[in-house]
Amino acid sequence: MDSIYASSSCTVPHLLRRETLFSPRASNSVLLRRAKKARRERVSCSAATTGSGVGSNGAVSRALQGLSNNSNTALEQLDIERGVCIPFRKYSPEIVRNKVLESRGSILSLMLRGVEIVWNLGLYWSNLVYDFLVGRDEEVVPYRARQLRNLLCDLGPSFIKAGQVLANRPDIIREDYMNELCILQDDVPSFPNQIAFRIIEEDLGQPLEAVFSKISSGTIAAASLGQVYRATLRATGEDVAIKVQRPGIEPIIYRDLFLFRTLASFLNGISIQKLGCNAELIVDEFGEKLLEELDYTLEARNLEDFLENFKNDPTVKIPQVYKQFSGQRVLVMEWIDGIRCTNPQAIKEAGIDVDGFLTIGVSAALRQLLEFGLFHGDPHPGNIFAMRDGRIAYVDFGNVAVLSQQNKQILIDAVVHAVNEDYAEMANDFTRLGFLSPGTDVTPIIPALEAIWQNSAGKGLSDFNFRSVTGKFNQLVYNYPIRIPERFSLVIRSLLTQEGICFTMKPDFKFLEVAYPYVAKRLLTDPNPALRERLVQVLFKDGLFQWKRLENLIVLAKENVAKMSSNPALQVKNTQSQRDLKVERKLDLTDTIKDGARLFFVDEGIRRQLLLALTEDSKLHIEELVDVYRLVEDQIDIPSVAVEVARDFPTVVRDLLLSWSESVLSDG
């Protein structure tokens, strides 16, 4: 299996060191766990170095493996933007080319498929040109959008998947076409049971009857790459879901990816002009995700990682995976007997509080995005369920994305810059995240960002929603050379989809009213020192300390802790399941106070700012300080915090002496 992995420009130990540098919580990192697995399997990975973003042994790797400059540059750029290694890379243009050309008659097959694709797409394009020439291009948009969706279905699974991706890429396709292509995410025909059952038996190496006592006569769900059945394990009587891949799909996918990239090489000039990147890069992003979804062993790993991340969260249910019955084409996992989120009445009848359920759903989504860096990329209504015990359940982990610690911190930077209305830095954040090419002049984008944010946030939490913001953002990316990296298109889709589910269950739901308390708690209590650096940025604006903002953060954080101290989705309180919950009941501000004390003594700039904050306008702000203390006095154990600060005192003294000696040496 090692032979199908991509080229190496750094070994797994490099990844271990880099993730440790990135994250003080590296022991909980999904990338670290995957790297350890990779090391056991002797798998290496391609990556950029932490500081400069240059592949550590890129030139040697290229010489050894004979990679072409174009393909290697595109993949290196993806790694640089991510800031992490990909230990289980399934895709490179060379792998695709070798897979396609190794079979007999491959040239003829490519030519015939190429003619089919070019003919159908060319005919569609000529219709668009004709519409434009006769001046009816706008009035026939609904028809042409529907025609494009049907065309992609006719061209097969690769194009269906491409249509699903385009449904979330406003930088490539206009919004009315995106809305039509969204239908592809739910409306895909299934293939015959007999073929599916034969594939299952081939992967199991034994008859169905030997493993399952019964199996559903029809599919439970069908998607572009596979379909799902319900079955019962003969040995244990447990109900399971069997996900089985479409027959003969792998060679079709490889062939189409080869043709996609060949076509992209002719469109590089246009793509660089419109998006600031070459078209091959977009195909490489698409190819990576597609081949990952095609291997169900990777989805099994995703399931294990989600189980590990949420193992201590009593509000989230992740299905167990049965790896002994799973392979590259078949995945067997625990059956989730829940209520679809599109049926709020059934949820209420089950004794679940809708507001509470939405609260834990938003909290789970934000934990995936900002805490774990591994998030569900396709949380549509068919993949999210309400369990009768109040938990939220996720299924289908083929489409997930990883955000490095670096990317998470830049996202938080962007939020801080938005709060402080620093739009120039927001524009620079776009470059750091890969939306803009390095060196791009961000000056024209700054006023557009300011208009979008002020128009959306100025209405307040009651009217704010992600769809209105992304609608305006779509216009921005259509008018400027902005490319949305694949992982962030998944972030956008994930947030939009989950907000849509919230609106279905409760039309007047306020997403940010639930999200803000979680973010406030993270800023105040997260053990990552980098987050508390962002907290300092939030609390100071134009050199002035924002007392009211600090009070609001504490109030919101306390609200989040109070809500999540028990499962808020359960209407019946004081049940045994509620008593069994082991969750935090108070804000743990110990690390924050310790860091604050250290910063006060060690950082002269912070010390000066805090002293100025207490003496603004030529008066002592004792009243504000007392108000803040009253907000947290019931949340902290003063003696315990004092002991922790005292234990940390030698470190503070050491840092103070080092800082003083450095200043003396620099002055000398």
CB 315 within 8 A of CB 323: no
CB 50 within 8 A of CB 22: yes
Task: Reply yes or no on whether 378 is catalytic.
Answer: yes
Q: How far is CA 366 from CA 141, 396, 510, 511, 521, in A?
A: 36, 18, 15, 11, 12
Helix H or strand E encompassing 229? strand 226-233
3-state secondary structure of 385: strand
Measure the CA–CA gap between 628 and 249, rounded to whole angstroms: 61
- The count of residues in the chain is 668
* Alpha helices (H) along 23-172: 30-40, 58-65, 69-82, 93-101, 106-133, 141-155, 157-166
CB 593 within 8 A of CB 640: no
The answer for 166, left when phi > 0, alpha when psi is -120 to 50, beta otherwise, is alpha
Measure the CA–CA gap between 535 and 517, rounded to whole angstroms: 14
- Identify the CA nearest to 404 among candidates 438, 440, 375: 375
Given the residues 79, 305, 378, 526, select the one marked as catalytic. 378
Among all chains, which residue has been given the structure tokens 């208009």? 451
Measure the CA–CA gap between 646 and 601, rounded to whole angstroms: 13
Which residues lie across from 544 on neighbouring strands? 541
Helix H or strand E encompassing 432? helix 423-433
How far the first Cα of the chain sits from its last, in Å, is 60
Which residues lie across from 10 on neighbouring strands? 45
Q: Show Cβ contacts of residue 422 under 8 Å, excluding neighbours closer than 6 positions.
A: none
Name the amino acid, one letter, at 18. Answer: R
Side-chain-side CA neighbours of 114 within 13 Å: the count stands at 12
3-state secondary structure of 244: strand
Measure the CA–CA gap between 444 and 460, rounded to whole angstroms: 26
Rg (CA), the chain: 27
How many helices and strands in the chain, by DSSP H and E? 30, 13
CB 54 within 8 A of CB 79: no
Q: What is the DSSP letter of 185?
A: G
CB 292 within 8 A of CB 161: no
3-state secondary structure of 588: coil
Which residues lie across from 243 on neighbouring strands? 228, 331
Name the amino acid, one letter, at 179. Answer: N
CB 567 within 8 A of CB 358: no
Which residues lie across from 386 on neighbouring strands? 339, 392
Among all chains, which residue has been given the structure tokens 């479409």? 246
Which DSSP string do the residues of 308-365 spell out, in sequence order? HHTTT-TTEE---B-GGG--SSEEEEE----EETT-HHHHHHTTB-HHHHHHHHHHHH
CB 102 within 8 A of CB 58: no
Measure the CA–CA gap between 444 and 144, rounded to whole angstroms: 33
As annotated, the active-site residues are 378
